[in-house]
Amino acid sequence: MSKNGLRDPEMDRLIIRVRDLRKTYRVGDIDVHALRGVNLEVGRGEFLAVIGPSGSGKSTLFHILGGLAPPTAGEVNIDGVDLLGLAENERTEMRKRKVGFVFQKYNLLPTLTARDNIAIAQSLAGITEQPEDFGETLKTMGIYNRLDHKPRALSGGEQQRVAIARALVNQPAILLADEPTGNLDTANSDAVLGILRQLNKAKGQTILMITHNPEAAAFADRTVTMRDGRIEHA
């Protein structure tokens, strides 16, 4: 839906539409302009990589698209929901179903088993049923037999695959991955990127991956580069 409540036909094709997105942080007495007019469109079922150097605004874009931070100005439309002006509670609701996160540091809850890490994402979203083929997905990801282990008993690669499973369990509209291979060796990186690629191709999962690694970005359908708070090549 558009702001005036009418159906926006463009959003049938797009899952993310960002127009002139600006984000300004206040650090002490200084305004830091992290995003200076970002324009981006991501189609449904697309696998997009966003690359750029440190400080280019990649993580800020990731946080805004995931509803973790509010935009300062501009349009951020995620699967028909404009995030500008949403209250924190509304953004929290949006996160439950529209977005799945994969972080560089896995961010699994250390006191819970892999199975419970996945289950708590469902519980918080108020969902009781797992997707029909979720067991198969877990087998494909190679963690089906590791579900009763706590994160400390899992390798980095296994933890990241559990984190991907957790991100997928609520069938989000988009999967946001922030440097998902940043803490992994080459073999595990390839395995995780291969899984993301397979999820995209086999299930049509929309993925937006932040990375500074061009080799990782090569797994995506399309790559955009960020620099100084703007997208250079869309």
Partner 1 sequence: MINKLVLENLKHRWVRTFLCALVVGVQVMSILTLIGLSRGLLEDSAQRAKGTGADIWLKAGASFSISAAQVNEKFVPFIRKQPHVTKAVGVLIVPLGGAEILTTLNGVDIAEFHALNGGFRMLQGREPTEPNDLIVDEYYAQQHKLHVGQPVELLKHQWNLSGIMQGGTLGRLVVPLRTLQLLTGNAEPARISQILVKLDDPNRTNDEVKILNNLLEGNLTAISYRDFIGQFSISNIPQLQAFIGVMTGMAVVVGFLVVFLAMYTAVLERTREIGILKALGAKPRVIVDILVREAIVLALAGCLIGIVLAFGAKSLIMQLVPASLQVVTVPDWWPIAGAIALGGALLGAIYPGLKAARQDAIEALAYE
Shortest separation between residue 2's beta carbon and partner 1, angstroms: 25
Binding region for partner 1 (CB under 8 A) out of 15-23, 123-131, 186-194, 206-214: 123-131
Q: Is 101 in the site for partner 1 (CB under 8 A)?
A: yes
Backbone angles phi, psi at 176, to 5 degrees: -100, 125
Identity of the residue, 34 or 196, whose beta carbon is nearer to partner 1 in the bound complex: 34
Q: Which stretch binds partner 1 (CB under 8 A): 1-9, 48-56, 72-80, 108-116?
A: 108-116
Binding of residue 92 to partner 1 (CB under 8 A): yes
Structure-block tokens of residue 4: 């005036």
Binding partner 1 (rule: CB under 8 A), the pick from 17, 23, 95, 146 is 95
Of 130 and 223, CB closest to partner 1: 130
Q: What angle do CA 160, 166, 167 make, to 5 degrees?
A: 90
Task: Kindly state the greatest CA–CA separation across the chain.
Answer: 53
Task: DSSP for 16-58, please give it.
Answer: EEEEEEEEEEEETTEEEEEEEEEEEEEETT-EEEEE--TTSSH
CA 96 to chain CA centroid, nearest Å: 12
Among 110, 129, 132, 186, binds partner 1 (CB under 8 A): 110
Helix or strand run (H / E) with residue 134? helix 134-140
Kindly state whether residue 111 participates in binding partner 1, applying the rule CB under 8 A: yes
Q: Does 162 bind partner 1 (CB under 8 A)?
A: no
108 in contact with partner 1 (CB under 8 A): yes
Write out the residues near partner 1 by the rule CB under 8 A. 63, 66, 68-69, 89, 92-93, 95-96, 101, 103, 107-112, 116, 119-125, 166
